[in-house]
């Protein structure tokens, strides 16, 4: 048993599950986006804005944003504990990553509901 306090779910099992579930959500979102762009070759602002003005698309997008935030935190936390052996450097890296994820998430919410 190894104790950790900086990983996302405090447990390897929950981190593992979060990583798998978020990966599925991101895959679905990515496939949807690619298909949408393929089926709208002459995409203009009105169509794009119209897509994101619908509640279901905002919920779907927010779900994808939260998924990428969780996915990035679990993944980069793992990378940092593999390769950054000095505690100060590792903690600084984790703090920067966490701050960036938080900023991008809040910004994403503002973009979705602000327009």
Partner 1 sequence: MSTLQISIYRYNPETDSAPYMQEFELDTQGRDIMVLNALEMIKQQDSSMAYRRSCREGVCGSDGMNMNGKNGLACITPLSEVVKDNKLVLRPLPGLPVIRDLVVDMGVFYKQYESIQPYLQNDTNPPATERLQSPEDRDKLDGLYECILCACCSTACPSFWWNPDKFVGPAGLLQAYRFLADSRDTATRERLARLEDPFSLFRCRGIMNCVAVCPKGLNPTRAIGKIREMLLSNAT
Binding-site residue ranges = 71, 83
When asked if residue 5 is in the footprint of partner 1 (CB under 8 A), the reply is no
The set of residues, in sequence order, having a beta carbon less than 8 Å from that of 115 and lying 6+ positions away, is 49, 52, 53
Q: Which residues contact 43 (CB under 8 A, 6 or more apart)?
A: 37
Q: Which is nearer to partner 1, 62 or 81 (CB)?
A: 81
Q: Which is nearer to partner 1, 19 or 61 (CB)?
A: 19
**Exactly one of 38, 41, 82, 88 binds partner 1 (CB under 8 A); which one?**
82
Is residue 83 part of the contact set for partner 1 (CB under 8 A)? Answer: yes
Q: Give which of 64, 58, 81 is closest to 27, Cα–Cα.
A: 64
Told to check if 91 binds partner 1 by CB under 8 A, we report no
Ranges within 7-46 binding partner 1 (CB under 8 A): 7, 11-17
Distance between CA atoms of residues 22 and 92, nearest Å: 25
Q: How far is the CB of 97 from partner 1 (least distance, A)?
A: 16
- C-alpha angle 20/17/106, rounded to 5°? 75
Per CB under 8 A, residues contacting partner 1 are 1-4, 7, 11-17, 78, 81-83
């Amino acid at each position: 048993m190894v104790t950790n306090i900086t990983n996302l779910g405090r447990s390897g099992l929950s981190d593992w599950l979060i990583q798998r579930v978020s990966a599925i959500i991101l895959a679905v979102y990515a496939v949807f986006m690619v298909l949408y762009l393929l089926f709208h070759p002459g995409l203009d602002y009105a169509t794009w804005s119209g897509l994101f003005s619908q509640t279901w698309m905002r919920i779907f997008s927010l779900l994808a944003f939260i998924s990428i935030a969780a996915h990035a935190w679990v993944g980069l936390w793992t990378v940092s504990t593999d390769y950054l052996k000095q505690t100060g450097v590792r903690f600084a890296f984790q703090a920067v990553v966490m701050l960036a994820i938080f900023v991008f998430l809040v910004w994403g919410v503002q973009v979705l509901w602000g327009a």
